Amino acid sequence: KAGVTQTPRYLIKTRGQQVTLSCSPISGHRSVSWYQQTPGQGLQFLFEYFSETQRNKGNFPGRFSGRQFSNSRSEMNVSTLELGDSALYLCASSLTASSTDTQYFGPGTRLTVL
Amino acid sequence: EDQVTQSPEALRLQEGESSSLNCSYTVSGLRGLFWYRQDPGKGPEFLFTLYSAGEEKEKERLKATLTKKESFLHITAPKPEDSATYLCAVHGTGFQKLVFGTGTRLLVSP
* Averaged pLDDT of chain B: 93
pLDDT at B96 over 70: no
The rounded distance, in Å, linking the Cα atoms of A5 and A58 is 22
- Per-residue pLDDT of A36-76, as tens digits, reads 999 888 899 999 999 999 988 999 999 999 999 999 999 99
Q: What is the reported pLDDT for B28?
A: 80
- Per-residue pLDDT of B49-71, as tens digits, reads 999 999 999 999 999 999 999 99
Q: What is the reported pLDDT for B94?
A: 63
Residue of B nearest to A32 (CA): B97
Q: What is the reported pLDDT for B13?
A: 97
Q: What is the reported pLDDT for A100?
A: 82
Q: What is the reported pLDDT for A101?
A: 86
- Per-residue pLDDT of B11-26, as tens digits, reads 999 999 999 999 999 9
The lowest-confidence range among A57-61, B25-29, B104-108 is: B25-29
For every residue of A29-56, DSSP letters joined together read --EEEEEEEETTTEEEEEEEEETTEEEE
B9 near A CB under 8 A: no
Interface residue of A99, A110, A111 to substitute, partner B, most B CBs within 10 Å: A99
CA angle A58, A44, A111 (to 5 degrees): 110
The rounded distance, in Å, linking the Cα atoms of A43 and A49 is 18
- A20 C-beta neighbours (distance < 10 Å), count: 14
Q: What is the reported pLDDT for A98?
A: 81
Among the partner-chain residues A56, A88, A100, the one whose CB lies closest to the CB of B97 is A56
A99–B31 CB contact, under 8 Å:
yes
Single-letter amino acid, residue A56? N
B98–A33 CB contact, under 8 Å:
yes
pLDDT at A27 over 80: yes
Q: What is the reported pLDDT for B95?
A: 61
